[in-house]
Amino acid sequence: QGVRIPALGSFDVITKRIQVGKEMVTIQRPVFRLARNFAVVHNLMDDKSYLPGNKELEPLKYTKVAKAVFMSWQKTENCIQGTTSLLSHCLEKGENVALVLKDVG
């Protein structure tokens, strides 16, 4: 099941079958798709080709994340929104940024 982080984008796993020698192998790869509004505001390219169809994605469950990091859901939500805001601010200033997400995929 994919997950959507409001104002940032969505994460999902795509299953693909590829030919390896004489055998068909199924691989899964994680993908991130930037939120359309975020991409438009910052003139970023949006690759519509890698998420199949109009798949419904579940919104991020802040309570689940909060439990995993031993914080309140409010603080967790504020941190995620703050990170998105900081990323947006850096892009507005034309800074080169990388968003590294540990253990995704």
**pLDDT, tens digit, for every residue of 32-84?**
888 888 888 888 876 655 555 566 778 888 899 899 989 999 999 999 899 88
Residue 12 in this model has a pLDDT that exceeds 70: yes
**Three-class SS of residue 88?**
helix
| Contact indicator for 79, 68 with CB cutoff of 8 Å | no
Task: Give the domain ranges of the chain.
Answer: 3-46+58-93
Alpha carbon distance 91, 40 (integer Å): 12
Alpha carbon distance 81, 8 (integer Å): 9
Q: Which residue, among 42, 40, 34, 35, has the nearest Cα to 96 in the 3D structure?
A: 42
Predicted pLDDT at 53: 54
